[in-house]
Structure formats: structure tokens, C-alpha cells
């Protein structure tokens, strides 16, 4: 019994040492301790495999990135990941300058933003370096209007009223969507820190949840109005990401128009920023 306890203690301690050996700079590490018939460790960082042999023939093998993990398998479930926070730019028929028809949407560039995240994903991992998955989540386009106007509700065209009896310190015009990106992810091998580079590209579709106007002024206080505001009900576009570990950069472009109106035809949105939880 004492011998079994001692061996258990040794295996536990040596397993810890072997795990550290995998992170070492050398490609392989071998340790041998004579105890009775001998105990040895054979670790290989490239193969990410640790084998602990106890003299009586018992073998404990620990695989970090074994061939079994390289086989394809289905992945997915409930998650909270790919939190995107960035800036949004309006693109008016290929120009970053708004046309006279759309100049009432003049906005504050450093306060016009996007926020999005995913809560579901289902896909297939073909190997340690490539997987495809469909995700689902939510995103918001938050336009900080520069002019002292109020976008009208319940009108067939995008229109506004000029406000003269109040000065807005905040005049935010926003849309919320539920989105479904189809992502193709390419990733490198893990480095000595256990991290890897990721490259993600793919198309995305989204469905409008609603629009909102939020205004703050000394004269009126804080007010909110909700409507669809003629935002396009079905949006499509593409996303690209590059990252290291759980942090990355993203860029999104909407191929569909921002509004479902003839006057705003060709007015689109693009965004870029930081992704947290890239996995």
C-alpha cells in the first residue's frame, strides 16, 4: 500500500513537471528516476504527448494535441463570444461624404459605433486548423446625429423635424438586428504560450428588430422613441477578423442599403474595431 501511495504521489508530481516540459522551448524532454525498477517521463512538445512509465509496466499517457483531436467533429452550443466594439462609417454610393439628399444624417464620426456579439454557434471542425460554423447573435448600429433634428416616426419615407426649442447633448439614431454569420475559420498551430493566430471570413445576414431615437437635452430631459424608421428589414454583407489568442480586429461591410427607401438608395454602412473572445 505504501508503494502504491508513493507511486501515486510521484505520478502526480511528475505529471505536473511533464506538463511544464511541454511548454519548454526544447522539442523534447526526457526524465528518468530510479525507484525500484525505475520511473521515466518522455515528453515531446511537437507531438504534445507525455508518457509516464512506472517500472512495473504501468503506463500513463497524456495527450495535449493527439491525433484523435485532429479528427473532424461537430462543435457548437450556447456561448457568449466575438464581442465586437467599433466605429461605424456611412458610405453614400461609394463616398464617405454624404450627398445633399442624406446630409441631414450628418453624424459625429468618433461617437457613431457598432456593438455585436454571438450567443449560439453550430458547425464542423475539419481539423485543428480549419472549421466552419454558423453563429447567431445581436448587433446594434448607433448613429450619433450632429444636427438638432428628430427623425419622424410612422412615415413611408425617411424624414425629420428641425428642433428649435431644445438643444440635444445626445441625439442617437440606432437600429438593432438579430444576425446569422457563416464563418470560415483558419488558425495556426499553438505557440509556446498556448495561443494561436486566427483568420475568420464569411457572409452574414440579419433581420431587423427595431429602430430607436434617444435624445438628451436640458429642456426635455431624456426621451426615447421607437419605430422601424425605414431601416432595411433584411440586411446582408460580410465580415473579416484577424486575431491572436482571444483578442482580434474586425471589419464588416453591409452590401445591402441601410434604409429601405428610394431616396437613400446606395447608402450603406461599414464598421471596424476590436473583437473580444475570438474563439
- Using the predicted structure, report yes or no on whether residue 23 has a pLDDT greater than 70: no
> In the numeric block, which cell numbers belong to residue 245?
489568442
- Using the predicted structure, report yes or no on whether residue 52 has a pLDDT greater than 80: no
Cα 24 versus chain centre, distance: 30
- Using the predicted structure, report yes or no on whether residue 94 has a pLDDT greater than 90: yes
- Using the predicted structure, report yes or no on whether residue 42 has a pLDDT greater than 80: no
pLDDT, tens only, 146-178: 999 999 999 999 999 999 999 999 999 999 999
What does the pLDDT average to over 269-274?
98
Name the more confident of 20 and 106. Answer: 106
* Proportion of the chain above pLDDT 70, given as a percent: 75
Phi, psi values for residue 29, rounded to 5°: -140, 135
Q: Quote the pLDDT of residue 71.
A: 72
pLDDT, tens only, 164-218: 999 999 999 999 999 999 999 999 999 998 899 999 999 999 999 999 999 999 9
Amino acid at each position: 500500500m505504501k508503494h502504491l501511495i508513493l507511486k501515486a504521489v510521484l505520478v502526480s508530481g511528475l505529471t505536473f513537471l511533464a506538463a511544464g516540459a511541454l511548454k519548454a522551448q526544447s522539442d523534447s524532454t526526457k526524465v528518468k528516476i530510479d525507484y525500484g525498477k525505475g520511473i521515466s517521463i518522455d515528453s515531446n512538445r511537437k507531438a504534445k504527448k507525455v508518457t509516464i512509465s512506472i517500472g512495473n509496466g504501468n503506463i500513463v499517457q497524456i495527450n495535449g494535441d493527439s491525433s484523435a483531436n485532429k479528427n473532424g467533429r461537430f462543435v457548437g452550443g450556447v456561448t457568449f463570444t466575438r464581442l465586437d466594439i467599433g466605429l461605424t462609417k456611412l458610405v453614400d454610393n461609394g463616398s464617405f461624404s454624404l450627398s445633399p439628399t442624406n446630409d441631414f444624417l450628418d453624424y459625429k464620426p468618433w461617437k457613431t459605433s457598432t456593438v455585436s456579439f454571438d450567443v449560439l454557434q453550430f458547425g464542423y471542425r475539419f481539423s485543428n486548423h480549419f472549421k466552419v460554423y454558423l453563429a447567431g447573435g445581436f448587433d446594434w448600429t448607433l448613429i450619433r446625429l450632429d444636427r438638432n433634428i428628430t427623425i419622424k416616426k410612422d412615415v413611408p419615407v425617411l424624414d425629420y423635424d428641425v428642433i428649435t426649442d431644445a438643444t440635444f447633448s445626445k441625439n442617437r439614431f440606432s437600429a438593432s438586428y438579430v444576425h446569422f454569420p457563416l464563418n470560415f475559420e483558419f488558425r495556426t498551430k499553438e505557440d509556446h504560450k498556448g495561443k494561436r493566430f486566427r483568420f475568420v471570413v464569411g457572409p452574414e445576414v440579419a433581420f431587423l428588430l427595431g429602430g430607436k431615437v434617444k435624445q438628451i437635452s436640458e429642456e426635455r430631459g431624456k426621451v426615447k422613441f421607437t419605430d422601424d424608421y425605414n431601416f432595411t428589414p433584411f440586411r446582408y454583407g460580410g465580415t473579416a477578423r484577424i486575431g491572436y489568442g482571444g483578442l482580434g480586429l474586425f471589419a464588416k461591410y453591409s452590401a445591402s442599403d441601410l434604409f429601405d427607401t428610394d431616396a437613400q438608395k446606395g447608402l450603406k454602412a461599414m464598421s471596424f474595431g476590436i473583437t473580444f473572445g475570438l474563439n
